[in-house]
Amino acid sequence: MKKHNFYAGPSILSQFTIDNVIEGVRDFAGTGLSVLEVSHRSKEFVAVNDQAQALFKELLEIPDGYHVLFLGGGASLQFTMIPMNLFKTKAAYLNTGSWASKALKEAKIYGEVVEVASSKDANFNYIPRDYSVPSDADYFHITTNNTIYGTEIKSDLDVGIPLVADMSSDIFSRRIDVSKYAIIYGGAQKNLAPSGVAFAIVKEDILGKVDRAIPTMLDYKTHIDKESMFNTPPVLPIFAAFQTLKWLKSNGGIEAMNKVNVEKADMLYSEIERNKLFVPAVSKDEDRSIMNICFVMTDEYQELEQDFNSFASSKGMVGIKGHRSVGGFRASTYNALPTESVAALIDVMKEFESNH
């Protein structure tokens, strides 16, 4: 039976990525060696690293003055590296979910953190809009897509101070204006590569302003100076990311991805709204994520939750159980998820409805 992969992360990758990784594991770039056993300083791998950075810049239209870094430690290490490199006296954070809260907690180690707004009171089911960002904060941190709760900030904010964004789960899903950000970062395992590498797009001129001593490995400058080759980088995940970037480009880039992503999300949200058994977890249309679509059973049909989960699994739907902090269901519809999988899930929802 065909499986439809709705996992939130690690998550679906394009068949192109998987096929090319398999090939590279067998024979990397005609070297006669596996990508698992080549030096990260070999000319073949240096070329992969360079081309992956170049494709990042091309696809996201990254302006001059920014560097693309591939780092270990996941998005979670960025929660620490950001304040370590940017925090002088005060930072501002928007609290829109578990990941945002974790980022905020790390910043507090360095001093005063202003939580400008939080949607915690409503289990993070909306994006706060009425807040002001203190103009004397060193930076403002947001999480553009809240993977667990299914909310998303879908436009680039204008805030007068350096803007830092965790885009782990929506990078490459929609156009962004990179020039509005000081740092954009994320783990690769949602929309780009297997786990093991994080990306950071860093504007060089925001660095070098803090007095503290920064451990070498946690200093963005170290990695900028060495083109992410200060120490051994995660070779295989970078190789996989390179394949996904090529796939993105040959499929029309971000504009084309976004068009399909919006189509997929519209299809699924419409069915959730139409189907008598389900209701979207996020009520406001403008706050709904196009990458992680969360829904729950209506009050009347609560007791069918387990049954639907088993029914959907029996039909090849994988990974739709919602995160334990929301319950219900979550269908992650990342770039590599075909429209056909969304259609298959919708058929399953309809069939389940007609059985009840």
74 binds ligand PLP (CB under 6 A): yes
80 binds ligand PLP (CB under 6 A): no
5 binds ligand PLP (CB under 6 A): no
Q: Nearest to residue 257, comparing CAs of 247, 266, 267? A: 247
Of 9 and 24, nearer to ligand PLP (C-beta) is 9
How many angstroms separate the CA atoms of 24 and 124, rounded? 42
Q: Is 279 helix (H, G, I), strand (E, B) or coil?
A: strand
99 binds ligand PLP (CB under 6 A): yes
Q: Nearest to residue 247, comparing CAs of 51, 50, 20, 16? A: 16
Task: Please give the structure tokens belonging to residue 332.
Answer: 């992650």
319 binds ligand PLP (CB under 6 A): no
168 binds ligand PLP (CB under 6 A): yes
- Which region among 11-19, 69-77, 208-216, 241-249 touches ligand PLP (by CB under 6 A)? 69-77
Of 165 and 207, nearer to ligand PLP (C-beta) is 165
How many angstroms separate the CA atoms of 62 and 203, rounded? 10
Residue ranges with strand state E in the chain: 4-5, 66-71, 90-95, 112-118, 140-143, 145-146, 151-152, 163-166, 183-187, 198-203, 278-280, 292-297, 317-318, 329-332
Among candidate residues 154, 170, 190, 321, the one labeled active-site is 190
183 binds ligand PLP (CB under 6 A): no
Question: If 0-12 CB within 10 Å is exposed, 13-18 middle and 19+ buried, where does residue 350 land?
Answer: middle
Nearest approach in angstroms of CB 154 to ligand PLP is 14
95 binds ligand PLP (CB under 6 A): no
Q: Name residues contacting ligand PLP, limited to 191-250 (CB under 6 A).
A: 198
Count other C-beta atoms under 10 Å from residue 229's C-beta.
Answer: 15
How many angstroms separate the CA atoms of 218 and 215, rounded? 5
76 binds ligand PLP (CB under 6 A): yes
DSSP 130-180: -----TTSS-EEEESEETTTTEE--S----SS-EEEE-TTTTTTS---GGG
Among 5, 96, 119, 143, contact with ligand PLP (rule: CB under 6 A): 143
- Which region among 122-130, 165-173, 265-273, 321-329 touches ligand PLP (by CB under 6 A)? 165-173
Among 106, 152, 166, 271, contact with ligand PLP (rule: CB under 6 A): 166
- Which region among 57-65, 70-78, 307-315, 345-353 touches ligand PLP (by CB under 6 A)? 70-78
In degrees and rounded to multiples of 5, residue 232 shows phi and psi of -70, 115
Annotated catalytic residue 276 = no
Annotated catalytic residue 166 = yes
Footprint of ligand PLP on this chain (CB under 6 A)?
A: 9, 74-76, 99, 143, 147, 166, 168-169, 187, 190, 198
Catalytic residues: 99, 166, 190
